[in-house]
């Protein structure tokens, strides 16, 4: 039976959303205490009893968190010429993290970005189709 584990990270960043209409509050520069969670799915190793070491996830994710922590994410996007970070919505941030990590974390299932304590976005490669 597969297991799903989650490791969470926090970072402080400013951003503004250039795609929002003039006058919208998110079009202005503002900041968040972001929380990002990495979810991994798979079978635990029968000998160790673990799916993946949480420390390994932390080591892999840390450089990306440091890249955004206490920066304006739009500026990071300009510096890296990355279209997702130039328009750093929760949707684009979760997709950006997923694509940075998918080849480094076996069994990566999803990335969840919490922009506030009541608003978050989950990104994964495939979602079940609705009928």
Alpha helices in the chain (DSSP H): 54-68, 73-80, 83-86, 90-101
Rounded to 5 degrees, φ, ψ at 90 are -60, -40
Active-site residue, 122 included:
no
The active-site residue out of 66, 70, 78, 125 is 70
Spatial separation of the C-alpha atoms in residues 53 and 74, rounded to whole Å = 32
Q: Is 115 one of the catalytic residues?
A: yes
Using only the alpha carbons of the chain, give its radius of gyration: 16
Catalytic site residue from 15, 32, 114, 115: 115
Quick count: other Cβ atoms within 10 Å of Cβ 25? 9
* Residue 131 known to be catalytic: no
Backbone angles phi, psi at 77, to 5 degrees: -60, -40
Q: Which residues are catalytic?
A: 26, 70, 115
């Amino acid at each position: 039976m597969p297991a799903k584990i989650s490791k969470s990270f926090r970072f402080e960043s400013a951003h503004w959303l250039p795609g929002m209409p003039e006058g919208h509050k998110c079009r202005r520069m503002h900041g968040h205490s972001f929380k990002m969670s990495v979810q991994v799915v798979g079978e635990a190793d029968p000998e160790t009893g673990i799916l993946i070491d949480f420390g390994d996830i932390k080591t892999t994710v840390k450089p990306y968190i440091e890249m955004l922590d206490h920066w304006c994410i739009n500026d990071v996007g300009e510096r890296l010429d990355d279209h997702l970070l130039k328009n750093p919505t929760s949707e684009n941030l979760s997709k950006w993290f997923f694509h940075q990590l998918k080849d480094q974390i076996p069994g990566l299932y999803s990335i969840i970005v919490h922009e506030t304590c009541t608003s978050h976005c989950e990104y994964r490669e495939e979602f079940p189709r609705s009928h």
